[in-house]
Amino acid sequence: MNFLGIYFGTNKFSLVETNGKKLVNNVLVDRSVITGVADDITQKVPNDVKMVAFFKEEIRRNKIEAKEAAIAISGRDMIIRTFDMPAMPKNELEAAVVFEAKKYVPFKMEELVFDFQSNFDRLANRNSILFVGIKRDVLDKYISVVQQLGVKVKEVEFSAFSVLRALNVAGFKNKGITAILTADPQEADELNFLVLESGFPLFSRDIALGSPAQEPENPLQPQDEGLILEKLKTEVRVSLDYYNRKFPTKRIESLILIIGPEHASAMEAFIHELEVPVQFVDILRLIGKPTVFSLSLVKGFSVSLSKAVKNNLTLNLLRARDRIELAKKAIVSTGQFSLRGIKADGRFIALAIIICGLTYAYGVFKISPLKKSLEQAVSMRAAVSGVSADSSYENMMNVDKQLRNKIKDLDSVLNQVSLTEQLDTIPRIIPDGMWLTGFSFRKDIRFSSLVLSGFVSLGDSEKELELVNNFLLRLKNDPKVTKYFKDINITSVERSQQRAEATITNFIITCRDTKAQAQEL
């Protein structure tokens, strides 16, 4: 019985019909052919309607007979995450995964259809979680398009995971740590870099080589192919670096390369330069039908094998959607109840009223002493200016904050430093031949400092430096200066030419208070 695989890519759509593992029909379509606007009439037609009409025509023209299908969706429409969780019972795992996944989902979980698969690590006693999700309206759109073709949808999955089926048919065994790169520089659709450990995904990265402005209205032209190939190499290097930083102890043992034969040798040589073992897989031989290599064809062919080839990954977004709908129906059904058949008895009604009345009266009786105590405590409050006796705790806290700010402002005014003695002393101890050119004083929360600047002109640099040191020593030995400033040092000394022949020594001396030293320590 024939089976249909449909890939909804970023730039391309593909419909691939298979019988078992043998390709029967394949249709490859540019997204721009369907979504592009030809005239004012087609501009008003929704893209979904255009897509259905176009697919129906292609199915009729290619005589596709399959009545069941599987859908592969690009990573642009999906959320793929891997994370670790502690070991826990299976009945608690789903709730824990939903809680953890909220960190990675940029919208409400109620808008998401998701599925996950766990892999238990006995040595680490932890669960590795593979989480796959898609917005419900996006998923419903794709499913609706396929159903309108008269085809029943059986599975919906991430396209990078679909490719694993083709590798299984090719005989590759997922043992150890293996990377898979699916790429097509000529098509410039979404590429995938996937790393598996014993068949379970550790790392997944989707690569869009085409710029948003070029997709889908202006797809890349063949002359851009060389540029795209270089960009692909850069993205591969970035992916490997990112993976190695995230999993430094899990070295990639081999890289499986799925790419067109015309680009295989160039990419193999490049990956060898990165010191990663690489193996090229010719998917065209596996397909067994003469055709041009296309990444969209590979993904459509791979997902069409979902009925004939089992995959170690059991993720299925269609099944997840049905499971969520059943859970909602179960909640609604259990929450419904009926009053039919219940007969009112006056005695029971009277008894219920009496019980409610007694409960209320007992509550009033128990709370009345507390109310009296509260009223007495309020009446005994001390009268404080600006605070009402009926003020709440929040009001009193606001008043307290305002008072504290006023005290802080008063302290800052009262705690001003007086420099009268110091400024009176400095001219008395300055040596002959030295002149002060300025001073500045700074005081803040951290420290206070007095900065003296001046120059010496003796015609001899050594004598001038000696005079500066002499002035520093006099400052340190003067009790009026050191009464407030304990840390006195030369900040800078430099020679400069004042006139054509004369040179002078400029200096800056900084005096700091003890509070600055305490702050620094």
Find where tokens 């400052």 sit: 475
> Does the structure show a pLDDT above 70 at 297?
yes
Half-sphere exposure of 510 toward its Cβ, with a 13 Å CA cutoff? 10
pLDDT digits (tens, 9 = 90+) for 83-129: 888 888 888 888 899 888 888 888 888 889 999 999 988 888 889 99
Q: Which two tokens stand for residue 317?
A: 């977004």
Q: Which two tokens stand for residue 406?
A: 């006023």
Q: How far is CA 480 from CA 237, 428, 434, in A?
A: 68, 12, 21
Better pLDDT: 390 or 168: 168
pLDDT band at 258 (very low <50, low <70, confident <90, very high): very high
The residues near 509 (Cβ < 8 Å, ≥ 6 apart) are 451, 452, 453, 471, 472, 475, 488, 489, 490, 491
Look at residue 103 in the predicted model and tell me its pLDDT: 84
Q: Helix (H, G, I), strand (E, B), or coil: what is residue 419?
A: coil
Find where tokens 């596996």 sit: 286
pLDDT band at 408 (very low <50, low <70, confident <90, very high): confident
pLDDT band at 517 (very low <50, low <70, confident <90, very high): very low
What percent of the chain has a predicted confidence (pLDDT) above 90? 35
pLDDT digits (tens, 9 = 90+) for 320-344: 998 888 877 766 655 554 545 556 6
Q: How far is CA 224 from CA 214, 251, 262, 410, 434, in A?
A: 12, 34, 15, 72, 74
pLDDT band at 520 (very low <50, low <70, confident <90, very high): very low
Give phi and psi for 151, each to the nearest 5. -120, 135
Note whether 179 and 188 are within 8 A (CB): no
> Does the structure show a pLDDT above 50 at 223?
no
Measured at the CA of 215, the angle between CA 211 and CA 220, to 5 degrees, comes to 75
pLDDT band at 500 (very low <50, low <70, confident <90, very high): low
Look at residue 519 in the predicted model and tell me its pLDDT: 43
Look at residue 489 in the predicted model and tell me its pLDDT: 92
> Does the structure show a pLDDT above 80 at 443?
no
Integer Cα distance of 480 and 428 in angstroms: 12
Integer Cα distance of 424 and 363 in angstroms: 78
Integer Cα distance of 273 and 268 in angstroms: 9
Half-sphere exposure of 368 toward its Cβ, with a 13 Å CA cutoff? 6
Q: In the chain, what are the domains?
A: 2-212+227-328 (3.30.420.380), 420-520 (3.30.1360)
- 434-443: strand order across its sheet: 434-443, 448-456, 503-513, 485-497
- Alpha-carbon 87 to chain mean position: 25
Amino acid at 101: A
Better pLDDT: 442 or 517: 442
pLDDT digits (tens, 9 = 90+) for 449-459: 889 999 998 88
Integer Cα distance of 237 and 243 in angstroms: 10
- 126-135: strand order across its sheet: 78-86, 126-135, 112-121
Amino acid at 66: A
Torsion of CA 94, 204, 315, 132, to 10 degrees: 50
Integer Cα distance of 460 and 498 in angstroms: 14
DSSP letter, residue 96: H
DSSP letter, residue 63: T
Integer Cα distance of 12 and 220 in angstroms: 12
User: Shortest CA distance to 188 belongs to which of 212, 159, 204, 166?
Assistant: 212
Integer Cα distance of 509 and 491 in angstroms: 5
Helices marked H in 170-274 — which ranges?
A: 225-246, 261-273
The pTM of this model reads: 0.61
Integer Cα distance of 286 and 298 in angstroms: 10
Beta bridge pairs of residue 205? 193
Q: Helix (H, G, I), strand (E, B), or coil: what is residue 69?
A: strand
Integer Cα distance of 153 and 141 in angstroms: 13
The residues near 492 (Cβ < 8 Å, ≥ 6 apart) are 506, 507, 508
